[in-house]
């Protein structure tokens, strides 16, 4: 049974100077309107305890365009300006629902340069894309076709820090779930091995470490340039291109890996790792960020939802590295430098493979009967099993790596 989804198709394009100039002005206007609306809403609440709605900010935008100071807002399409007000409304809704922090002002240097166009602000004739206020279509590299017979509902144009231009087309699409399978896999996220599905080790390519010398050289060159000079702008682009190369290679690997795991397995079990807290360890922060566990989980989550797979997330404090997958005994300690260990039952374990097996076992138990994910512990004094199974999160500690 197919399911309908909204799917974004992202392509690179190469604008002519006139198009690049118009888009850059659009990015600036979008940022200006967002900041003005955020300031107005914040001021209204602080001074009058008044919540300003989207309709009110839309009326403000009309008045801003009539002023001499902000008359330049009329030079670009009005649709991206309205869309940024809708995005601000969504940010406030997420804040009120306690799903996000209070909206922050957009920075010219640090914020993402993007603008969203709805169907009234672009034309899609004969497989070409023409944006509002433009006479010529964008020179897009169509690396893959859009769904047959579908026309984009929204178009998002962006420019990354490396100066590359991208266009993302949101289309309706149908996805056929993968055939039902009995295969299941437990996935252990590590640093030496990026992922360790049961019985398999996938070496962590360490993309950032591979380009660390190139990145360091580019950053040294940037540091030597005078602030505000053209040479500094050129050096900044070199640094951004190195970062983009690292991110692109990492994303490509994770997409291929998650697609294979979802295609081959019906049930996938992972740990609920709090990456935000783990990167506070300055000794491991760089390696953890390079492994990109959070992005892996995001990709796995939506692909499982698309293709009808079961994603089970077990408690982050489950001692998967210390539990013997053969007899269930728990080792007293397991320092990070111990990559292999021998249980008292005589079983010899590779740390990561053993953890993946335990993660799979715990996930299947949760799926089958809703059991907790912690095994019974042996009492440290009597050597007997505890009479009460611990609940997830009852014991403090750190997740294994």
Q: How many CB atoms lie within 10 A of CB 181?
A: 12
Residue 391 pLDDT: 35
Question: Mind listing the pLDDT tens digit for each residue in 149-195?
Answer: 889 999 999 999 999 999 999 999 989 999 998 999 999 988 888 88
Q: Which of 63-72, 173-182, 316-325, 373-382 has the lowest mean pLDDT?
A: 373-382
CA distances from 55 to 45, 61, 62, 80 (A): 16, 10, 11, 16
206/61 Cα distance (integer angstroms):
47
Q: Which of 79-83, 99-103, 262-266, 333-337 has the lowest mean pLDDT?
A: 333-337
19/131 Cα distance (integer angstroms):
9
Half-sphere exposure of 378 (CA within 13 A, CB side): 14
Confidence of residue 384 (pLDDT cuts 50, 70, 90): very low
CA distances from 114 to 7, 23, 92, 375 (A): 18, 9, 19, 49
Residue 115 pLDDT: 98
Q: Which two tokens stand for residue 164?
A: 């590359």
Listed residue (341, 329, 346) closest to 380, CA to CA:
329
Residue 370 pLDDT: 59
Eight-state DSSP code of residue 135? S
Query: Which residues on adjacent β-strands are paired with residue 341?
Result: 349
CB 240, CB 234: distance < 8 Å: no
Question: Mind listing the pLDDT tens digit for each residue in 270-307?
Answer: 999 888 889 898 888 999 999 999 999 999 999 999 99
Mean pLDDT (the chain, rounded) = 89
Q: What is the mean pLDDT of residues 250-266?
A: 95
Identify the helix (H) or strand (E) that includes residue 251: helix 230-264
**Active site positions, annotated:** 188, 271, 352
Q: Which two tokens stand for residue 83?
A: 């869309």
Is pLDDT of 385 > 60?
no
Is pLDDT of 200 > 60?
yes
128/141 Cα distance (integer angstroms):
11
Q: Where are the beta strands (DSSP E) in 14-139?
A: 113-118, 122-123, 130-131
Q: 280 φ, ψ to 5°?
A: -75, -15
Question: Mind listing the pLDDT tens digit for each residue in 327-379?
Answer: 989 888 888 888 888 898 989 998 889 999 999 999 988 877 755 544 444 43
Residue 367 pLDDT: 77
Question: Mind listing the pLDDT tens digit for each residue in 106-131?
Answer: 999 899 999 999 999 999 988 899 99
């Amino acid at each position: 049974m197919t399911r309908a989804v909204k799917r974004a198709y992202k392509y690179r394009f190469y604008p002519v100077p006139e198009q690049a100039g118009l888009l850059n002005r659009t990015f600036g206007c979008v940022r200006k309107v967002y900041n003005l609306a955020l300031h107005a809403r914040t001021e209204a609440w602080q001074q009058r305890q008044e919540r300003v709605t989207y309709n009110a900010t839309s009326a403000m935008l009309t008045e801003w365009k009539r002023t001499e100071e902000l008359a330049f807002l009329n030079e670009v399409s009005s649709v991206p300006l309205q869309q940024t007000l809708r995005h601000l409304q969504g940010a406030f809704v997420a804040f009120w629902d306690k799903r996000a922090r209070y909206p922050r002002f957009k920075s010219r240097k640090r914020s993402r340069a993007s603008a969203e166009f709805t169907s009234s602000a672009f034309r899609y004739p004969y497989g070409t894309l023409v944006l509002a206020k433009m006479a010529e279509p964008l020179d897009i590299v169509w690396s893959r076709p859009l769904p047959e017979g579908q026309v984009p509902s929204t178009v998002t144009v962006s420019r990354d820090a490396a100066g590359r231009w991208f266009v993302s087309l949101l289309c309706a699409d149908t996805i056929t779930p993968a055939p039902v399978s009995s295969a299941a896999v437990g996935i252990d996220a590590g640093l030496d091995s990026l992922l360790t599905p049961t019985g398999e080790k996938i070496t962590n390519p360490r993309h950032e470490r591979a380009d660390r010398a190139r990145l360091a050289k580019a950053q040294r060159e940037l540091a030597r340039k005078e602030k505000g000079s053209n040479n500094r702008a050129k050096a900044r682009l070199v640094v951004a291109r190195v970062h983009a190369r690292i991110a692109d290679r990492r994303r490509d690997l994770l997409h291929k890996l998650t697609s294979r795991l979802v295609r081959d397995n019906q049930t996938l079990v992972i740990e609920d790792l709090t990456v935000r807290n783990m990167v506070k360890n300055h000794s491991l922060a760089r390696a953890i960020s390079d492994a990109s566990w959070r992005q892996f989980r995001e990709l796995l989550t939506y692909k499982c939802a698309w293709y009808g797979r079961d994603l089970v997330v077990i408690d982050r404090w489950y001692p998967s590295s210390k539990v013997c997958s053969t007899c269930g005994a728990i080792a007293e300690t397991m320092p990070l430098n111990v990559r292999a260990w021998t249980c008292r039952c005589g079983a010899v374990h590779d740390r990561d493979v053993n953890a993946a097996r335990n993660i799979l076992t715990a996930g299947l138990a949760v799926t089958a009967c809703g059991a907790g994910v912690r095994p019974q512990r042996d009492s440290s004094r009597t050597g007997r099993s505890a009479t009460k199974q611990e609940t997830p999160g009852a014991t403090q500690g750190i997740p294994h790596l």
